[in-house]
Amino acid sequence: MSERLTIKDIARLSGVGKSTVSRVINKESGVKPETRARIEEIINQHNFAPSKSARAMRGQTDKVVAIIVSRLDSNAENQAVRAMLPLLYAQGYDPILLESQFEPERVREHLTVLSRRHVDGILLFGFTGLDESMLLPWRDKIVVLAWEYEQLTSVRYDDSGAVTLLMNALIAKKHQHIAFVGVKLSDATTGGRRYDTYHALCQKHQITPCAALGELTFQSGYQLAQQVISADTSAIICASDTIALGVSKYLQERSQNDVIVCGMGNNSLLEFLYPKTFSVDLGYAEGGRMAVQQLLSLQNAPQPGKHITVPCTLRSPN
C-alpha cells in the first residue's frame, strides 16, 4: 500500500463508506462494534495517520485555533504570529491562518465558516471599521490584537507611548524642528493615535508641528519626506519602520545625513540598512504571546473584556 493511504483507501479495504471510517477515526458513536474493530485493525496494519492539517481545516480536531491577520505581508503581524505558533503547538492546538485584507465582510465570511467548523478560539488582528457587534457571539473565545473593544478581550500596542518615547528622546537632545510622516487619520491607531500624540507634544513643548500623512508603505514615506523637510528640520518621526525606510532612502539619495530618522516597529531591515535610526520596539512578538495566554485563560475560565497594553521600548541607534 502507498504511504499516502487515504480514508477512501481504508473504506475500500474495510468494505464500508468513508463517513464510517471518519466516525471511527474521530471516536464518534454510531458504528457497530464489529465494524469498528475491522476498521481499526486495517488502520493499525497500515500505520494510517490522518493528515493533521487537513483535519484541522475540516474542524475535526478537538483543539483548533484560527488566526485572522489583516495582511499576510505585514511585518508587525508576522512577528506576532511567529510568537503565537510555538505556544499553540505546545498546548496541542492546530492553527488555521486566514487573511481579512482590512475588509469587515471578509471577516464575517471567515467567522461563518469557523462557526461551522466549531473552532475553539480565534486570534484576530483588528482594524478600523470592524464592528464589535459582529464579534460579540465569539466573546468567550476570541482575543483581538492591535484594537480594543469594550466587551472583548484585547491586546493592544502603546501607540501614544511610542511617539512619546521618541519625542522625549529628541527633545532631550535639543531638537526643536521635529517633523512627522504618518498614516491617514482614518486609521485610528497607527494613523490617528500616533499623529495626535505628536501634535499634542509639539504644543506642550512649543514646537511648530510639520506633518504629512499617507499610506503605510515605504513608497509613501519616500514621497512624503519632501513635504516635511526644510532647511531647519533636524529629525523626522515616522509612524512605522516601513515609512522610515522610505524617508531614510529619500534622505540618503540627497546626502542629508544630518537629519535623524525615527521609526516604530522593530523592523530588522531598517536597522540593517540604516543603523543610525532611532526606533521603538512596540512589542509585536510579546503581544502575540500575551494574546495566546489570554485565549488560554478564556478557555479555562471565560471572563471576556480584559484589556492589556504591551509596553514599548526605545531602541537607540547603533
From CA 26, how far away is CA 55, in angstroms rounded? 10
What pLDDT, on the 0 to 100 scale, is given for residue 171? 96
Start-end of CATH 3.40.50.2300 domains in the chain = 58-157+284-311, 159-281
Under the banding of pLDDT at 50, 70 and 90, the label for residue 226 is very high
- Which residue spans of the chain are classified as CATH 1.10.260.40? 7-50
Question: Using CA atoms, how far apart are residues 265 and 2, in angstroms rounded to an integer?
Answer: 48
Contact 258, 229 (CB under 8 A): no
At 4 the pLDDT is: 57
> Which CATH architecture does the domain made up of 159-281 adopt?
3-Layer(aba) Sandwich (3.40)
Would you place residue 1 in the very low, low, confident or very high pLDDT band (cuts 50, 70, 90)?
Answer: very low
The mean per-residue pLDDT over the stretch 194-213 comes to 97
C-alpha cell at position 151: 466587551
Residue 247's Cβ-side half-sphere holds a number of Cα atoms within 13 Å equal to 34
pLDDT greater than 90 at residue 310: yes
What mean pLDDT is predicted for residues 284-310? Answer: 92
Q: What are phi and psi of 121, to 5 degrees?
A: -170, 160
Q: Which fold has domain 58-157+284-311?
A: Rossmann fold (3.40.50)
Region 58-86: mean pLDDT is 87
pLDDT digits (tens, 9 = 90+) for 90-142: 998 989 999 999 999 999 999 999 998 889 999 999 999 999 999 999 999 99
Helix spans in 274-316 (H):
284-300
State residue 49's pLDDT score.
65
Task: Decide which of 278 and 243 is more confident.
Answer: 243
For residue 318, name the pLDDT band (cuts at 50, 70, 90): low
Determine the straight-line distance between the first and last CA of the chain, rounded to whole angstroms: 59
What does the mean pLDDT of the chain come to?
90
Instruction: Tell me 93's DSSP state.
Output: P
One-letter amino acid identity for 13?
A: L
pTM of model > 0.95: no
Domain 7-50, classified CATH 1.10.357.10, yes or no: no
Mean pLDDT across 161-185: 96
pLDDT surpassing 70 at residue 2? no
Dihedral angle of Cα 135, 78, 86, 310, to the nearest 10 degrees? -70
pLDDT beyond 90 at 41: no
Average pLDDT over residues 239-250: 96
